[in-house]
Amino acid sequence: MKQRLIERLERYVKIDTQADPTSLTTPSTEKQWDLINLLQEEIQALNLEVSVDDKGYLMATLPSNTDKQVPTIGLLAHVDTATDYNATNVKPNIVESYDGKDIKLGDTEKVLSTKTFPQLKNVIGHTLMTTDGTSLLGADDKAGIVEIMEAIIYLQEHPEIKHGDIRFSFTPDEEIGRGPHHFDVERFNADFAYTLDGSLEGELQYESFNAASAVIEINGVNVHPGSAKDVMVNANTLAMAFNDQLPSDEVPEHTEGYEGFYHLTDMSGSVEKAKLQYIIRDHDREQFERRKNHLLDLAKLLNSQYEDDLIKVTINDQYFNMGEKIKPHPELTAIPEKVIQSLGIKPITEPIRGGTDGSQLSYMGLPTPNLFTGGANFHGPFEYVSIDVMEKAVQTIVGIVSEFEQQS
């Protein structure tokens, strides 16, 4: 299977599918269709039912091969790649039997360093796929697509493994937060699903952040500096004062686990106008609401010092902690945990310090935990994936669908 995994992943990552957050279309880039159309052709060649709507959502079915009444399980992965690094002209490199040493990336000066990335010790002896240092790899989430495709093919080749209906879908624009925006849960017609969009071996994630964006718009009063006393209000200075009121230790670089944060992602300004853009994250819903209210209270406090309200805060919720929708269905995590353990892997059930499509899908009526793919260091030139762990991910999918059949 390893060679098939390599060949399929190489084929997919060479297709540029980078999303575009400034686009108003779905998919956000025309080039995502290149992979979507290829996947449709490959699934049709397997003689399976497959459809693609005008937004690029591919849905297909592997029919049940059991007489039992078994829940319909969904499997999902996204075709797009991240927007924050070059994703064109991807040249994947294969490292056989990784020896645990630093890996030079192509002809660049970049090195996949064991000091910087100590998790490399966990894949010694594995076959790795890396970048050549000039682009990201795109294993996020093409490794997930490969694993779903190979699991479907494996189940076709092994009809002695009994399972219910398996619905699988490949979707656009996850990397810009729009993955589920046009996903038709009713058309997908699954009882629950799993995203193959995790990272290190054994990850089984069913808790995510609650997430919101916040835009702070500040209007200053701009006059000649020579006559500015008691008149000028410098919007830049007011922006700095606003940010200084936030707890300095509640930022991404000083938090981990269940700890939430405020993250200043962008700032711009002049004396007359300034803008701060934040993302707000917290696993606890009450604490999440307190964080949002804190920004509003800060604006109110600073505005009270002036005759006019100079600071405007706009907050938009992005997604919520999917654990609230998944925990009432303990079998959705208990069965994968059992399967992962049966493969000799220790399950990693730490919360996602981010979100997946499952964060939104779970609130759309489709509870959707997240499974590992074997990749690491996503969204940059140091991205790599273990082919050995990808094989374990395929075995995990097969084990999950089989276990649900056996327990029905």
Q: Catalytic: 197?
A: no
Question: Which residue, 407, 353, 401, is CA-closest to 205?
Answer: 353
Catalytic residue among 132, 147, 174, 203: 174
Q: How is the beta sheet containing 273-282 ordered, strand by strand? A: 261-269, 273-282, 210-219, 311-319
Contact 71, 408 (CB under 8 A): yes
Contact 73, 193 (CB under 8 A): yes
User: DSSP label at 121?
Assistant: G
Q: Which distant-in-sequence residues (6+ apart) come within 8 Å of 339 by Cβ? A: 396, 399, 400, 403
Q: Catalytic: 41?
A: no
Cα 139-75-352 angle, rounded to 5 deg = 60
User: DSSP label at 363?
Assistant: G
Catalytic residue among 80, 165, 403, 405: 80
Question: Which residue, 101, 62, 85, 80, is CA-closest to 145?
Answer: 80
- Tell me the two tokens of residue 130: 């890396």
Which residues are annotated as catalytic?
80, 174
